[in-house]
A and B are shown apart, each in its own frame.
Chain A
Amino acid sequence: MRREPNVSRVPVSVRRVPGTFYILIIMISLASITIPGFGTVSNLLNILLQGSFLAIVACGATLAIISSGIDLSVGTVLSLSGVVTGLALHAGIPIALAILSGVLTGLICGIITGSLVAFVGLEPFIATFGMMSMAQGLGLVLSNGASIPGFQESFRWFGEGVVWKVPVPLIIALVIVACIWWLLRHTRLGLYIYAIGGSEEVAGWSGIEVGRCKLALYSISGCLAGIAGVLLAARMNSGHPTVGVGWEMDAIASVVIGGTPLTGGRGGVIGTMVGVAIVSVLRNILNMLRLSSPWQITLIGAIVVIAIGLDILLRRWRLALEG
């Protein structure tokens, strides 16, 4: 039930690789043996490219969940900022400004949810649920319910370009993940997010300005959703008002699969990346097997449950052995 005294150098909250990592390895090895075309470099890059967008969004979700909150709005904010970017580009605004407008859209959404959570004291679920509806609605209204297609090449580079064979979105995602990792591991804000997740009251008593931290973290989450939205628009060469439907679930699932509990206070972004990898690899495998969507749906559920269940049982078993 409690206490194995833990002696280690690194602050433990950020250190552990989740057990699901090994599940990921097993999944990948099995797939490369059995599925032709899976184990190729180009397919791995393909998976990484596909996972980049979710990875960016899931970083934000990780912050929210570590603080024992939640961010349901990431999916629709992503759609919204794609639409805004698209509109901006069509209006002939320079690319840099258009991108900025998309990212800012995300940031503003994040600031709104953040203020609602931090200063009004709304439950994160309600605030972000509201934002989820609002961003979706706004996206539909702005785009008039249709996609906004056709951008110039230089913009599309952000979604499709490669640098030394590495897709641009992947590079951006890696940079963002590294930043968030740094944030959680080495900055005050990061530590405070853990502290707030552990106990908001105690964090306040220790002189942490809880409200400002929450505002910051939801803003970051919104901003990341904005970035992902812009990149996705570039990749799809269109801003689509419903493209992000359901992404919040994928993001939250990745976070939880990665070992950050919904109750907050621990976990980290490395784990989340394992979660993102599991989700993306699983999708790729199922597509490669060309399974129809009902089977895909079923298997995603079953594999997630089995994988994490196994991880927990193995850990328990190991603990019993060590004892």
Chain B
Amino acid sequence: MYQRSQQIQTLTHNEISKGVATEVFGGSGSRFLLLVGLIVVLSFIAPNFLSLNNFINVFRQASLLLIMSIGMTLVILTGRGGIDLSIGSVLALSSCMAASALKAGLPVTVSIIIGLSIGALCGLVNGALVTMVGLPAFIATFGMMQIARGAVLLYMKGAIIYGFSPAFRFIGAGHLFGLPMPVIVAGVLFAVFTFVLYRTPFGKEVYAIGANRIAAELSGVRVNRVLLTVYTISGAMAACAGLVYISRLNAAESVIGQLFELQAIAATVIGGTSFRGGEGGLIGTIAGALIITFLNNGMNLLGISSLWQLFVLGSVIVSGVTFDMYFWHRSR
């Protein structure tokens, strides 16, 4: 037990690692237990659930959600109603533009860059509306959600771009070291942004802004710049998810990505990131995204009727998190 008399003098390497680990895992570590619990239950009741193939399958399906949730987590971490409703539409817009660039015969890399830049640009506009105009994030990104969706509908006129070159298809449907590409893309992005969040000044500033925007500003943090960056990242992540998505689907259409924002928000929040800002983080988001995906997978495997699926999804999420709150957070 700590006593005043034993003022801390130094920390050993171990103590630092432990401290960093608790900081990174934060309150969301227990959500992993929830995930594990879900997996255990499903492996008992769902046929063919417990197989390497199925797990790879689930990870592949979760990767899109994970990529989008990276951006969403950063945005929600900045607090004060920070939210990005536009990612579904931005995903559709940027991937359709990339697809039409591909169809127009542009090289794969150029098309990818086009897609990513459009996503980033949409994000930047969101950020500018939030910081410079001072719109609530909800309104700014709600507007972007509508505008980007409308734009892609008008641009595509309901048509579908179908059939991409093998080079482009590799991103979504290829394999590397026996792993599906989407999983690798999501893994790499995740690793990069976890590093950014926990080991760079930028990451610390994101947390500080979320925890107390005024204090952060008075500490010399360039709040607007950080927010701009965060929203831009969110847009770019949406575009990135979109590219993987259309590559996997081998088609691009204007309606993709509807309600993705809600899923990404759900993954983030179920992963323990709070709308209060400055609480939670990327690690929990993985758990959140996997929980949602495993649930859907399990319900398909169990052959639960379409009508019941939504009900099961909702009740499992609520009861799972309730359980978590009771047996984990309460006991502390």
Query: Which residues of A are interface residues toward B (Cβ below 8 A)?
Result: 1, 70, 116, 120-123, 125-127, 129-138, 140-141, 144-145, 249, 252-253, 256-257, 261-263, 293-302, 304-305, 308-309, 312-313, 316
B317 touches A126 (CB 8 A): yes
Of chain A, the residue at the smallest CB distance from B83 is: A262
Partner of A134, one of B83, B143, B306, B315: B315
A261: which B residues are within 8 A, CB to CB? 81, 136
Chain A contact residues, majority secondary structure: helix
Q: How many angstroms between the C-alpha atoms of A252 and B81 in the bound complex?
A: 12
Known contacts being A252-B138, A262-B136, A294-B153, is A120 close to B322, with CB within 8 Å? yes
Of chain B, the residue at the smallest CB distance from A142 is: B307
Instruction: List 14 A-B residue pairs with CB atoms under 8 Å apart, sorted by A's residue number.
Output: A120-B325, A120-B326, A121-B325, A132-B314, A133-B311, A134-B315, A253-B139, A256-B142, A262-B137, A263-B81, A298-B146, A301-B143, A304-B142, A304-B146
A298 touches B154 (CB 8 A): yes
Minimal beta-carbon separation of B190 from chain A (angstroms)? 22
**Interface residue B274 (Cβ < 8 Å from any Cβ of A):** yes
B310 touches A301 (CB 8 A): no
A309 touches B153 (CB 8 A): no
Q: How many angstroms between the C-alpha atoms of A188 and B166 in the bound complex?
A: 66
One of B106-114, B191-199, B265-273 at the interface? B265-273
Of chain A, the residue at the smallest CB distance from B137 is: A262
Most buried by B among A127, A130, A295: A130
Q: How many angstroms between the C-alpha atoms of A257 and B80 in the bound complex?
A: 16
A316: which B residues are within 8 A, CB to CB? 134
Q: How many angstroms between the C-alpha atoms of A123 and B80 in the bound complex?
A: 15
A141 touches B311 (CB 8 A): yes
Q: How many angstroms between the C-alpha atoms of A249 and B89 in the bound complex?
A: 15
**Interface residue B37 (Cβ < 8 Å from any Cβ of A):** no
Q: How many angstroms between the C-alpha atoms of A144 and B143 in the bound complex?
A: 35
Of chain B, the residue at the smallest CB distance from A253 is: B142
Most buried by B among A1, A253, A293, A308: A308
Most buried by A among B83, B151, B317, B326: B317
**Interface residue B249 (Cβ < 8 Å from any Cβ of A):** no
A122: which B residues are within 8 A, CB to CB? 318, 321-322, 325
- Inter-chain contact total with CB atoms closer than 8 Å: 147
Minimal beta-carbon separation of A268 from chain B (angstroms)? 16
Q: How many angstroms between the C-alpha atoms of A141 and B269 in the bound complex?
A: 27
A297 touches B129 (CB 8 A): no
* CB neighbors of A among B92-110 (8 A): none
Known A120-B326, A132-B314, A256-B142; 18 more pairs at CB < 8 Å: A70-B275, A125-B269, A126-B318, A127-B318, A129-B269, A130-B317, A134-B310, A134-B311, A137-B311, A137-B313, A252-B138, A256-B136, A256-B138, A293-B153, A294-B150, A295-B154, A301-B142, A316-B134
B311 touches A125 (CB 8 A): no
A312: which B residues are within 8 A, CB to CB? 133-135
Minimal beta-carbon separation of A49 from chain B (angstroms)? 24
A298: which B residues are within 8 A, CB to CB? 146-147, 149-151, 154
B265 touches A137 (CB 8 A): no
**Interface residue B45 (Cβ < 8 Å from any Cβ of A):** no
Minimal beta-carbon separation of A287 from chain B (angstroms)? 15
Of chain B, the residue at the smallest CB distance from A262 is: B81
What 10 pairs between A and B have smallest CB-CB spacing? A301-B146, A137-B311, A298-B150, A133-B314, A130-B318, A305-B143, A137-B310, A262-B81, A294-B153, A134-B314
Of chain A, the residue at the smallest CB distance from B81 is: A262
Minimal beta-carbon separation of B303 from chain A (angstroms)? 15
A131: which B residues are within 8 A, CB to CB? 314, 318
Partner of B139, one of A133, A256, A295, A313: A256
B309: which A residues are within 8 A, CB to CB? 137
Of chain A, the residue at the smallest CB distance from B275 is: A125
B317 touches A308 (CB 8 A): no
B307 touches A299 (CB 8 A): no
A138 touches B133 (CB 8 A): no
B321 touches A126 (CB 8 A): yes
A252: which B residues are within 8 A, CB to CB? 138
**Interface residue B188 (Cβ < 8 Å from any Cβ of A):** no
**Interface residue B140 (Cβ < 8 Å from any Cβ of A):** yes
